[in-house]
Structure 1
Amino acid sequence: MSLLPPPASPRRMAHIALRTNRLQAMTQWYCTVLGAHVAYGSSKVAFLTYDDEHHRIALLALDDYPQRPQQVTEGYFHTAFAYDSLGDLLGTYKRLQGLGIEPHRTINHGPTVSLYYLDPDGNQIELQVDSFPDAEATNAWMRSEAFSRNPIGIEFDAEDMLAELRAGVPEVELMRRPDSV
């Protein structure tokens, strides 16, 4: 019999914190991409939020940090931000494109439709929309043969998807991964 209490899970993820040598550029980029604003800023830190949380992103310029190695290493891969609808996601894509910010990769994972961007420091940021109405449906799809064969997903053309959405193709149809039919 264990004397330890059962584990308590956190109720939500609160924020990410990134070290940077480009505080101003990073602050501007995250405010632009996420529609965030600075909750607190100084010459050394910026706390950004886009919702009712006091901050979702902390940017820290507390030292002169060495540059990240160019080769792929273990560790942090990306942070994902979820949108309510495919229309919101693709609207954000067009807004950012108009500002010269392009995704470096677009993937229909199956559970999500995702656009990947690189911030000024090269951190990968995923903007996504859930393809299923709830976790139960998502988990069921993740147990499918299509997901087992390809758990990463299929690249897609965001311009084509946006044109189809504007032509009236339902979001649910556009978000369905082509190999899952």
Structure 2
Amino acid sequence: MSQPEKFPHRPRPVVAPKLHHATFLTLKLHEMVAWYEQVCGLTPVFYSEAGAWLTNDEANHRVALVAHPAIKKAVDKPISHGHHHTAFEYGTFQQWLDNYSRLKEQGIEPFMSLDHGLTMSLYYADPEGNGVEIQVDNFGDWDASKEWTWGSREFAENPIGNFFDPDKVVAAAESGLTFAEIHEKAYAGEYIPENPPADILLPEAY
């Protein structure tokens, strides 16, 4: 008769940890600190020549930037395996749209914009070419968007979604369309850019 396992297989923690922060090795510390404040509202809790720990909420930090003398420039970063982007989420469509307009006025524009079905997302590249997604949940409710992502045929058939021109979204909002109407049109491909990106790779100009 076989003996019961002393420690049965447990594929996941009973209480899961929450995602807290992302850390980057950097060759452009001061430029990176300034960019993340401008784009994401992150400000230093600690800042020295060795690195910076930044936050935009009650956490002690959400992004850490480490400037180590051994760091080397990445080779073929856009097509190298590993981290693609870090995402930040706005609570409302109008906040998200206002931030897009504010950044555009300062000459910072996304390299691609996608309606994924679950979110509308603007993708920027930081000073070292790391992707930064600024998103808004299309359902306004994580339980609802999680259920849709899990069970919808649309997402299963097209998990990336459709590219959109954010200026067309701004114009649609100014014309009086609601967030729900704009999302529906964007996801249906009605706001496709004149020159949509060929793929979702990061830009190469870094």
Q: In the alignment, residue 59 of structure 1 is paired with which amino acid?
A: L
Q: Structure 1: how far apart are the matches of 2:139 and 2:66?
A: 36
Pick from 102, 114, 129 the counterpart of residue 136 of structure 2: 129
Aligned to 2:71: 65
Question: Residue 17 of structure 1 contacts residue 57 of structure 1 at CA under 8 Å; is this kept in 2?
Answer: yes
Give TM-score, length-normalised by structure 1. 0.91
RMSD over aligned Cα atoms = 1.8
Aligned to 1:170: 178
Question: Residue 21 of structure 1 contacts residue 64 of structure 1 at CA under 8 Å; is this kept in 2?
Answer: no
Q: In the alignment, residue 43 of structure 1 is paired with which amino acid?
A: E
Aligned to 1:55: 61
Structure 1 residues 64 and 157, CA gap change in structure 2 (3 angstroms): same
SS at 1:47 equivalent: strand
Q: Residue deviations 1:143-178, cap 9 Å, x none? A: 222222211010011011011112221112212322
How high is the sequence identity, in percent, across the aligned residues? Answer: 35
Aligned to 2:38: 32
Q: Structure 2: how far apart are the matches of 1:55 and 1:138?
A: 27
Question: Residue 91 of structure 2 contacts residue 140 of structure 2 at CA under 8 Å; is this kept in 1?
Answer: no
Q: Does 1:45 align with 2:41?
A: no
Deviation, 1:24, is: 0.4
Q: Does 1:157 align with 2:165?
A: yes
Q: Structure 1: how far apart are the matches of 2:106 and 2:144?
A: 36
Q: Structure 1: how far apart are the matches of 2:61 and 2:143?
A: 30
Question: Residue 89 of structure 2 contacts residue 136 of structure 2 at CA under 8 Å; is this kept in 1?
Answer: yes
Deviation, 1:12, is: 1.7
SS at 2:45 equivalent: strand
Structure 1 residues 113 and 64, CA gap change in structure 2 (3 angstroms): same
Q: Structure 2: how far apart are the matches of 1:134 and 1:178?
A: 21
Q: Does 1:76 align with 2:87?
A: no
Deviation, 1:55, is: 0.8
Structure 1 range deviating more: 135-144 or 82-91: 135-144
Q: In the alignment, residue 148 of structure 1 is paired with which amino acid?
A: A
Deviation, 1:133, is: 3.1
Q: Structure 2 stretches of 5 or more lacking a match?
A: 190-206
Paired positions, count: 179
Deviation, 1:2, is: 4.3
Q: Does 1:16 align with 2:16?
A: no
Q: Residue deviations 1:76-116, cap 9 Å, x none? A: 11111111111111111111111111100000000000000
Question: Residue 80 of structure 1 contacts residue 127 of structure 1 at CA under 8 Å; is this kept in 2?
Answer: yes
Deviation, 1:4, is: 5.9
Provide runs of 4+ in structure 1 moved above 6 Å: none
SS at 2:101 equivalent: helix
Q: In the alignment, residue 97 of structure 2 is paired with which amino acid?
A: L
Deviation, 1:64, is: 4.1
Q: Structure 1 stretches of 5 or more lacking a match?
A: none
